[in-house]
Structure 1
Amino acid sequence: MWPAKLTLILGAPVLLAAADTVAAPETGASQGQYRLPYEDGTTVKVFDDFTSHRPVGRVDLFAVAGARPYKVLAAADGVVKAIQNGFSEQLSGRAAKDCHNNYVWIAHANGEWSNYSHVAHGSVAAAGLRVGDRVKAGQVIGIEGAVGCAMLDHVHFEIAVPSSVAPLDANGFLTDNDGGRRERNPRFCGLGDHPAVKGQTYTARPCG
């Protein structure tokens, strides 16, 4: 079993190179296509979408029907880049900087990374996941939870193009992301060319 508090990241934050720039999030959709990060057939509701989420550029999803416990799945093939698995406290109402959150970051071949936050304590370790592991789309990476700054059990999901110099800080947040400039609106399988919309429900399914 891993220690109660465990953060594994690529390295400490450093100054960003001048050439390490990306377009603002209003440029639109992700390059890649991603499955909703739940088991096939699970009904998922959007609590906040890419534009309504604060800060902007993320999507909050929660399962409303399906097999419990609600398993969190990798949205696409990739390599695990960071894990925090050791926290257990729900801290709704605090500023994000004051919350201790659990998360998994996965890097994809197209240069985008996906993030799955608020996963239940110990669930990533129970899934056998470690930094450096290669995962397949649909592979279980944890259990839906409410750890950290969370009002309810859900998955805080985001797609981003991280800095190539220092992708994450010590708390698992993207560096050089003022105004959500590194975020991308996820293109989810089964939604056509339409983004996920706040208040709408969708069914998780594989891509292709």
Structure 2
Amino acid sequence: MIARALAIALAVVALLAAADAAFAQAGSLPVSKGRYRVPYQNGTTVGANNDHTTHPSSLNRIDMGGRGGGPYNIVAAADGWIRIIEDDNTLWCPTNNTSCGALPTTVCCGQDNPACSGGCRNNYVWMEHPNGEWTKYTHFPTNSVTGRGHQVGDFIQGGTVLGQEGRIGLAGGNHLHFEVARPHNGIDSIGSTGFLVDDGDATTSNYNRQNRVPAFCLGGSNGIWLDSTEGIVAANCPADCDPSSAPGIVLGAGSVRHLQANVITTGPNHEVLSGAGEALQAQTRVVMGPGFRVRANGYFSANIAGCDAPGSL
């Protein structure tokens, strides 16, 4: 019995390793291993301007903004270590110079204005979380983060205020650019301007996408946030957990899902097709049912952690 249990465990490990390898292939949609709180101070109504399917510069990233006033405080999406702080830049660079109005080029320079000379840099913070994923927060006002006493290397709890929502750098206006990533080489995968590097050629099988589709504790079972005009109220993640879940579906190309429950048992012939992504997070155990499979260029992960425990192992 022990030998049989060990064989099953090793088979599951091999399956997860193979699925994680698929994460590195072109066309896959990696989903964050953990769930994260909406990174705004509690009580703030937040909407997504661009979700992971529509972000203009790169997929799997989200632009979001506070609704109904401001200024808005940005908070850590999960417990973790601050690894990079860049908040001494002062220039706002909207898409075109007409957005600057009467503002001098010392504080605003449109991206279509040669006077910018490519010198526009974002203010941002990168955090590392215990589950190996990193989160990025971009466009802070000048000294918004360091002015609060934050330093590189600090360990802070989820919900701690990092700084304020802003527009410094390449931005159409005040908002938060948010990312979840699994940098292949840790901090060495982040370039001097704060962007992920070494992703390779997106048209080849060597494409190594590091960003992951963020899953949030939004009160629903899936947690994948699409464009939201009505807004979501930021709050601490609850500890709610369904007793069990038995998904028995086929996830097609372009579909992503993050499912959590106390116990998850995949139904018969559960399948993640090429170009789809799924992450399962259970408090007790994940059981693979008969016929479970992940196709080439699909992505799958299974995780044991408390429900809505942001950044957990």
Normalised-by-shorter TM-score class: 0.7 to 0.9
* 1:129 and 2:161 correspond: no
Residue pairs, 1:152-163, within 5 angstroms: 152-163=173-184
What is residue 65 of structure 1 aligned with on the other side?
Answer: 68
Please identify the structure whose Cα radius of gyration is greater.
Answer: 2
Q: Which amino acid aligns with 1:133?
A: D
1:22 and 1:126 map into 2 onto residues whose CA distance is: 38
2:195 corresponds, among 166, 173, 185, to 173
Contact 1:44 1:65 in 2 (8 A): no
1:186 corresponds, among 214, 228, 232, to 214
Distance of aligned partners of 1:21 and 1:124 in 2 relative to their CA distance in 1, 3 Å threshold: farther
Structure 2: runs of 5+ lacking an equivalent: 1-20, 96-110, 113-117, 203-207, 239-313
How much does 1:57 deviate? 1.6
1:83 and 1:202 map into 2 onto residues whose CA distance is: 27
How much does 1:171 deviate? 0.7
How much does 1:191 deviate? 4.4
1:86 and 1:48 map into 2 onto residues whose CA distance is: 26
How much does 1:202 deviate? 1.0
Residue pairs, 1:41-190, within 5 angstroms: 41-54=43-56, 55-65=58-68, 68-93=70-95, 94=111, 99-164=120-185, 166-178=188-200, 179=202, 181-190=209-218
How much does 1:26 deviate? 3.4
- CA RMSD, 1 decimal: 2.2
What is residue 206 of structure 1 aligned with on the other side?
Answer: 236
Identity percentage of aligned residues:
37
1:148 and 1:105 map into 2 onto residues whose CA distance is: 16
Cα shift readout 1:121-172 (whole Å, capped 9, x = no counterpart): 1100122111000010000101000000100100000000002261211111
Contact 2:165 2:175 in 1 (8 A): yes
Cα shift readout 1:179-200 (whole Å, capped 9, x = no counterpart): 4811111111124214111243
Structure 1: runs of 5+ lacking an equivalent: 1-19
Give the match's secondary structure for 1:126.
helix
Cα shift readout 1:41-81 (whole Å, capped 9, x = no counterpart): 11001010001002212100000036x32000000000011
Give the match's secondary structure for 1:123.
coil
1:139 and 1:69 map into 2 onto residues whose CA distance is: 16
Contact 1:163 1:175 in 2 (8 A): no
Aligned residues: 187
Distance of aligned partners of 1:194 and 1:26 in 2 relative to their CA distance in 1, 3 Å threshold: farther
Output the TM-score relative to the length of structure 2.
Answer: 0.56
Contact 1:78 1:108 in 2 (8 A): yes
Distance of aligned partners of 1:26 and 1:79 in 2 relative to their CA distance in 1, 3 Å threshold: same
Cα shift readout 1:95-145 (whole Å, capped 9, x = no counterpart): 9x7531100000001110000000111100122111000010000101000
Contact 1:37 1:204 in 2 (8 A): yes
Distance of aligned partners of 1:61 and 1:110 in 2 relative to their CA distance in 1, 3 Å threshold: same
Q: Which has the higher helix share?
A: 2
